[in-house]
Amino acid sequence: MRKWHHASLAVALAATAAVVLAGCGGGSGSKDDKPAASSKASASKGGGKSDHSAGDPPSASPTAVLAQIKGEAGMTVTINTASRDAGGFVTVQGVITNNGDEAFDAVDWRGQETELVASGPSVAGAVLVDPEGKKRYYVLRDTGGMCLCTMGLVDIEPKETRPFFAQFPSPPPTTTQVEFELPTMPPAKISISEG
């Protein structure tokens, strides 16, 4: 029991370090930029139903809905918050619901980049697009190349809902409206709030 407590404490400390260091990452956000390694995080490799990179952020408010995306296989993505932190990143949080008839694995949501394969079924392929600034912001990654996002999105059963999050470099403070894009799903306009 004591060993488990120490292991849990180590994971929590690693998650805290990841969030602090994530604020130091980023890049210029130009169209051709790839997300840079932004922190040293202890990331799980996406085997179970509740695996997440760098720990779970606080739960999104279930009553706030910024956008809802309906797409393939009856999947619905509901975005509850998009919060800009002083550290220089934006955290998007929400829930994924399987309204289809079969279990769903988010393999296609991780994106096409070879580097993202290690993140497994996840929302690693998500992008924030600033149409006015003509820039794209990719999901941040830790030094091991794992996304700072929800991983392990496998076997999502019909009628099951799971929380998700993804962290991005922050657009300029003057940018408050962006599009959230996820592979195979239509884009959604969302507002960034100050965290």
Angle at 58 between CA 184 and CA 168, to 5 degrees: 45
Gap between the Cα atoms of 107 and 102, Å rounded: 15
Query: In this structure, is the dihedral angle defined by the CA atoms of residues 34, 96, 174 and 195, taken in order, positive or negative?
Result: negative
Gap between the Cα atoms of 179 and 22, Å rounded: 21
List, as one string, the DSSP characters of 133-166. TTEEEEPPEETTS-BSBBB----B-TT-EEEEEE
Structure tokens at 50: 């509740």
pLDDT at 114 (0 to 100)? 82
pLDDT at 167 (0 to 100)? 97
Gap between the Cα atoms of 148 and 37, Å rounded: 10
User: Is 148 within 8 Å of 18 (Cβ atoms)?
Assistant: yes
- What mean pLDDT do residues 108-114 have? 87
Q: Give the pLDDT confidence of 1-23 residue by residue, as tens digits.
A: 444 344 433 434 344 444 434 44
| 62 pLDDT tier (thresholds 50, 70, 90) | low
Domains of the chain: residue spans and CATH: 2-194 (2.60.40)
pLDDT at 20 (0 to 100)? 38
pLDDT at 116 (0 to 100)? 80
Mean of pLDDT over the chain: 77
Residue 163: pLDDT over 70: yes
Integer-rounded Cα Rg, in Å, for the chain is: 16
Residue 93: pLDDT over 80: yes
